Structure 1
Amino acid sequence: MQTQEKDEALIIGRNPVLEALKAEEPLDTIYMNGTGGSLGRICTMAKSRGIVVKNVTEQKLSQMANGAAHQGVIATGACASYVTLEDLLDISRKKGTAPFLIVCDEIEDPHNLGAIIRTAETAGADGVIIPKRRSASLNATVHKTSAGAASWLPVARVANLAAALDTLKEAGVWIYGTDASGDAYDKVDLTGPVALVIGSEGFGMGRLVREKCDFLLRLPMCGRITSLNASVAAGIFMYETLRQRAAKA
Structure 2
Amino acid sequence: MKVYGRNVLKEILNTNTPVKMIYFSNSGDKELKKLIEIAKIKKLPHTIANKKILTKLCNYEKHQGVVIDIGEFKYKDEYYIENLNNPFIVILDQLQDPHNFGAIIRTAVAAGADAIVIPKNNSVQVTPAVIKVSVGTIFRINVIQVVNLARFIEQIKKYGIWIYGADMHGKKYYEIDLKKPIAVVLGNEGAGIRRLIKEKCDDFISIPMKNHVESLNVSVSAGIILFEVMRQNESIDS
Shared fold (TM-score, shorter chain, > 0.5) = yes
Distance in 2, Cα, partners of 1:225 & 1:67: 36
Within the candidate set 163, 187, 193, 1:199 is matched to 187
Give the drift of 1:24: 1.6
SS at match of 2:29: coil
SS at match of 2:117: strand
Partner of 1:44: 37
Within the candidate set 199, 202, 210, 1:214 is matched to 202
Number of aligned positions between the proteins: 236
Q: TM-score, normalised by structure 2?
A: 0.93
Give the drift of 1:57: 1.3
Give the drift of 1:67: 3.0
Partner of 2:92: 104
Partner of 2:4: 12
1:83 partnered with 2:76: yes
Partner of 1:3: none
Provide Cα deviations, 1:184-217, integer angstroms capped at 9, x if missing partner: 1111100131100010111100111111000001
Within the candidate set 15, 24, 32, 2:24 is matched to 32
1:70 partnered with 2:91: no
Paired residues of 2:54 and 2:67 also in contact (CA < 8 A): yes
Q: TM-score, normalised by structure 1?
A: 0.89
Structure 1: gaps spanning 5 or more residues: 1-8
Give the drift of 1:54: 1.7
Give the drift of 1:155: 0.8
Paired residues of 1:106 and 1:131 also in contact (CA < 8 A): yes
* The 10-residue stretch of structure 1 (216-225 or 226-235) with the greater mean CA deviation from structure 2: 216-225
Paired residues of 2:81 and 2:156 also in contact (CA < 8 A): no
Partner of 1:113: 101
Distance in 1, Cα, partners of 2:231 & 2:61: 36
Distance in 2, Cα, partners of 1:153 & 1:68: 27
Paired residues of 1:80 and 1:150 also in contact (CA < 8 A): no
Give the drift of 1:44: 2.2
Distance in 2, Cα, partners of 1:108 & 1:68: 24
Partner of 1:151: 139
Provide Cα deviations, 1:25-58, integer angstroms capped at 9, x if missing partner: 1211111113323322322232334332121112
Partner of 1:240: 228
Paired residues of 2:164 and 2:201 also in contact (CA < 8 A): yes
SS at match of 1:27: coil
Partner of 2:130: 142
Aligned residues with identical type, % of pairs:
36
Paired residues of 1:88 and 1:154 also in contact (CA < 8 A): no
Q: Higher strand proportion, which one?
A: 1
